Structure 1
């Protein structure tokens, strides 16, 4: 029987192996993420960042290894169980906002709350609050086609945060944005996670954006490697860089 994950790790993985159509994407990755931590996963395109987030978030089943959420096994869940876990406990922001084109900004943000069973008043109140916090309240009645890319991406951030999920996964959320807009989105996302004590797992190919995290790990060719320490961003927590171990590429969470 394998050892139970640490009590203060909201996410815990050991020896994750995952291939896509026979091509290895993760090669024995082990990782722990503490409750309330902002963790950056860096690495070039094709290094396995998206696959790692997919395995941690129950989007992808692992080929080998274990994934745990709040000390409950994820790797043993079937497709329905994984879908329920994603719907009820996780928030997502991708490199593209993937908004519903027929819905307004307000309706897009309220949608996950409504799907989870929240009443109309509670869902739309939360949507209005997050649109205000993200400085896009004036877009609430507009559909995505009338908005610029940075506005759509902030709406996607609001949609992920509105249900206040325990964990938010952000997979290259600033990839299509220029530097100023990217910094703004990351600043808002990380600040909102900290203010509401949410765990944020951020994947980015830009190591400079890791300065918004409390800690960063780097992937290369499906394995964890020692990342370069970025310059901390003003107003953010310290970045604790963890070196990868050998064999299983073990990297565990450390207190901030």
Structure 2
């Protein structure tokens, strides 16, 4: 077993995954460079979400390898993968999934609070991100049910960015939004990624959204398609992520 090249923060080889015998991924390989915004493009049902969930450690591929900074994610146990997701990864999906009992700023600050940050420090960081997304002042003290879906989704983005993750997984983050709100979320996401050197995997069925990325790969029926597919890079000696 070999690890990926030094400049790939994420690297996957020959991923296979099935749901109840129905293939969702069939032999997908890719590398993601540090600080890169990579779009995973394709129609709904092509395997984009499954790919991101395998890369982020939410799913273990039935076959194939996933590496993060030379650590084999595919061989990690559940606790180590959970720690990796909590400490190094961020996630935003098409639905906000906020905690209804918490104020918007508390939802955005939640990852920091769970890490043990003080309430004041967590609130300051969360408020800064919310203000970048035009959610400040009185709005930040509201509960999720008191604001429109577009604002809830912006809170989700703030929550994903507040820890400055090494990798941000964005699974159709603007799918439920109108054009103006979608542009706002994408502008904040890409600006934050480039200014802070974040690596972003952006799953989308929208070619226009994919065009905002540094590079795009396409999936169709669980397979990587299109031209310019590179051969798998030679790896180097593996090293593990210790518990």
Q: Normalized against structure 1, the TM-score is what? A: 0.88
1:123 aligned partner: 122
Which protein, 1 or 2, shows the higher relative CO under an 8 Å CA cutoff with sep ≥ 6?
A: 2
> Which moves more between the two structures, 180-189 or 98-107?
180-189
Aligned residue in 1 for 2:202: 202
Q: Do the aligned residues in 2 keep the contact of 1:14 with 1:29 (CA within 8 Å)? A: yes
Aligned equivalent of 1:159: 159
Q: Secondary structure at the residue paired with 1:121?
A: helix
Give the structure 2 partner of residue 175 of structure 1. Answer: 175
Counterpart residue number, 2:13: 14
Quick one: distance in 2 between partners of 1:32 and 1:137? Answer: 38
Q: Distance in 1 between matches of 2:129 and 2:180?
A: 21
2:57 is equivalent to residue 58 of structure 1: yes
Aligned counterpart, 1:221: 221
Flag as ranges the 4+ runs of structure 1 deviating above 4 A: none
Q: Is the 8 A contact 1:90 1:167 kept in 2?
A: yes
CA distance in 2, matches of 1:170, 1:134: 16
Contact 2:13 2:232 in 1 (8 A): no
| Deviation digits for residues 82-115 of structure 1 (CA, Å, limit 9, x no counterpart) | 1111111110100001010111111001111010
Once the two structures are superposed, the pairs formed by residues 85-100 of structure 1 within 5 Å of their partners are: 85-100=84-99
Q: What CA distance in whole angstroms lies between the structure 2 residues aligned with 1:170 and 1:251?
A: 25
Residues of 2 paired with 1:217 and 1:37: CA distance?
Answer: 13
> For residues 35 and 150 of structure 1, what CA distance do their matches in structure 2 show?
30
**Counterpart for residue 113 of structure 2:** 114
Number of the residue aligned with 1:243: 228
* Residue equivalent to 1:144: 144
- TM (norm. structure 2) is 0.92
Q: CA deviation at 1:251?
A: 7.1
Mapped to 2, the partners of 1:184 and 1:212 lie a distance apart of: 13
**What is aligned with 1:43?**
42
CA contact (8 A) 2:3 2:71 kept: no
- Report the Cα distance in structure 2 between the residues aligned to 1:118 and 1:198, rounded to whole angstroms: 21
Gap regions ≥5 residues in structure 2: 234-243
Unmatched 5+ residue regions in structure 1?
A: 227-241
